[in-house]
């Protein structure tokens, strides 16, 4: 099944034989995935969360810093199912009207509020579901079969909402609000653009006061503070995963000049960018490579086909 633009696949299998380093993954749709082999690592500054083989995960709209780690003797493999809020709404309505499934979300916890992802050990039914998906990828016809993808996505959403309350179910059901996702998508897509708060509020069709209130409700921080934190987070990953100069990194992360970048970085982390890079290299015993941080997005249809084993 394709999204509204008709260019992106719904179900994709990824195979990576080598570690490509930390990747900035930008999603315009939500994703539910399953790790077949290896581990996926999600970064939040100095903290990271590992998703191991046999675990199911959710990634929300926006930016994710990820690293895919192959096993010693086998590549990293995962299956990812993408969906939009509009598509989720239609599936939930279908399940409710045709099967009288009472869909509710009563789970709330600090991790759900703070993180833009979640993961859990897959149940037997979930393992069986993704095992069947992996088998379908051996048939090239499935890749272009929108009806088959629609059926499998509906089945996956049913498996999620029919389970007991938890982070995965809560995260998925929170996407049924189209306005919520549209707001976040606009914000995430403009992190590194030089736009004023007034311009962003206009893009989201809100008054400045309304925009600030809704922004804090979504991101738990005032707009100016949140944008600086996101840009500094990106700069930290560039410092430890590339050999780009301090000025190049500051410019790429949308800081007005190098001195301003250094000042904000030191205020946030008590180290200059150069000191942070040196300290990381000393602690890890590694030297920054020429280029490791990969900027990635959802695949085009052609990319999806070429990524299938």
Contact call for residues 27 and 60 (beta carbons, < 8 A): yes
Residue 126 has pLDDT above 70, yes or no: yes
Q: What is the pLDDT of residue 217?
A: 85
CA distance 61 to 98: 29
Percent of the chain with pLDDT over 90: 48
Tell which phi-psi region holds residue 257, choosing left (phi > 0), alpha (psi between -120 and 50) or beta. Answer: beta
Domain boundaries, the chain: 11-176+293-306
H or E stretch covering 232:
helix 223-241
The stretches of the chain forming alpha helices (DSSP H) are 85-99, 110-114, 124-136, 140-143, 146-161, 167-173, 178-188, 197-203, 208-219, 223-241, 246-252, 258-269, 273-284, 301-306
pLDDT-above-70 percentage for the chain:
85
Nearest partner of 186 among 61, 87, 7, judged by Cα: 61
Q: Answer whether residue 196 shows pLDDT above 80.
A: yes
Highest mean pLDDT (candidates 36-40, 98-102, 186-190, 193-197) = 36-40
pLDDT tens track for 75-123: 999 999 999 888 998 999 898 888 888 787 788 888 887 889 999 999 9
Q: How far apart are the first and last CA of the chain?
A: 20
Q: Which two tokens stand for residue 140?
A: 């090239």
Top-level class of domain 11-176+293-306 = mainly beta
- The kind and range of the H/E element at 35 are strand 30-37
pLDDT beyond 80 at 191: yes
The encoded tokens of residue 213 equal: 């209130």
Give the H or E element holding residue 157: helix 146-161
Relative to beta strand 294-297, strand 23-27 is parallel
Q: Which of 116, 59, 48 is nearest to 82 (CA)?
A: 59
Task: Please identify which residue in the block is written with the tokens 């996505």.
Answer: 153
pLDDT confidence of 240, banded at 50, 70, 90? confident
Q: What is the mean pLDDT of residues 242-257?
A: 93
- The crossing angle, in degrees rounded to 10, of helices 258-269 and 223-241 is 100
Look at 52-66, 101-115, 142-156, 278-292 and tell me which has the smallest mean pLDDT.
Answer: 278-292
Contact 12, 79 (CB under 8 A): yes
Instruction: Pull the structure tokens for residue 188.
Output: 């995430």
CA distance 89 to 28: 16
The two structure tokens encoding residue 50? 């590992």
Phi, psi values for residue 279, rounded to 5°: -65, -40
Q: Are 51 and 39 in contact (CB under 8 A)?
A: yes
At 141, the pLDDT band (50, 70, 90 cuts) reads low
Q: Does residue 308 carry a pLDDT above 60?
A: no
Between 219 and 257, where is the model more confident? 257
Is residue 215 within 8 Å of residue 222, measured between CB atoms?
yes
297 vs 266, more confident = 266
The per-residue pLDDT for 305 is: 29
pLDDT number for residue 247: 95
98/103 Cα distance (integer angstroms)? 13
pLDDT at 42 over 50: yes
**pTM (predicted TM-score):** 0.76
On whether the CB atoms of residues 17 and 75 are closer than 8 A, the answer is: yes
Q: How far apart are CA 16 and CA 18, in angstroms?
A: 6
Alpha helices per DSSP H over 45-145:
85-99, 110-114, 124-136, 140-143
Confidence of residue 8 (pLDDT cuts 50, 70, 90): low
């Amino acid at each position: 099944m394709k999204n509204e633009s008709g260019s992106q696949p719904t179900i994709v299998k990824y195979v990576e034989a080598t570690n490509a380093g930390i990747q900035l993954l930008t999603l315009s749709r939500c994703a539910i995935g399953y790790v077949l082999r290896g581990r996926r690592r999600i970064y939040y500054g100095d903290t990271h969360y590992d998703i191991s083989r046999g675990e199911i995960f959710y990634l929300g709209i926006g930016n994710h810093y990820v690293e895919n780690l192959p096993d010693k003797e086998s590549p990293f493999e995962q299956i990812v199912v993408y969906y939009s809020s509009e598509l989720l709404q239609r599936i939930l309505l279908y399940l409710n009207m045709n099967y009288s499934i009472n869909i509710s979300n009563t789970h709330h916890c600090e991790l759900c509020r703070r993180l833009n992802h979640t993961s859990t050990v897959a149940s037997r039914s979930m393992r069986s579901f993704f095992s069947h998906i992996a088998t379908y990828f051996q048939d090239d016809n499935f890749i272009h079969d929108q009806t088959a993808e629609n059926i499998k996505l509906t089945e996956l959403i049913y498996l999620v909402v029919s389970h007991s309350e938890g982070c995965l179910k809560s995260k998925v059901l929170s996407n049924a609000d189209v306005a919520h996702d549209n707001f976040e998508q606009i914000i995430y897509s403009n992190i590194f653009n030089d736009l004023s708060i007034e311009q962003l509020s206009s893009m989201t069709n809100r008054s400045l006061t309304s925009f600030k209130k809704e922004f804090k409700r979504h991101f738990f921080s005032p707009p100016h503070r949140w944008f600086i934190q996101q840009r500094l987070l990106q700069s930290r990953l560039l410092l430890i995963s590339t050999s780009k100069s301090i000025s190049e990194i500051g410019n790429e992360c949308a800081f007005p000049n190098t001195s301003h970048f250094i000042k904000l970085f030191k205020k946030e982390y008590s180290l200059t960018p150069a000191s942070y890079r040196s300290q990381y290299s000393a602690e890890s015993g590694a030297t920054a490579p020429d280029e490791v941080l990969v900027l990635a997005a959802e695949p085009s249809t052609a990319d999806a086909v070429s990524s299938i084993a």
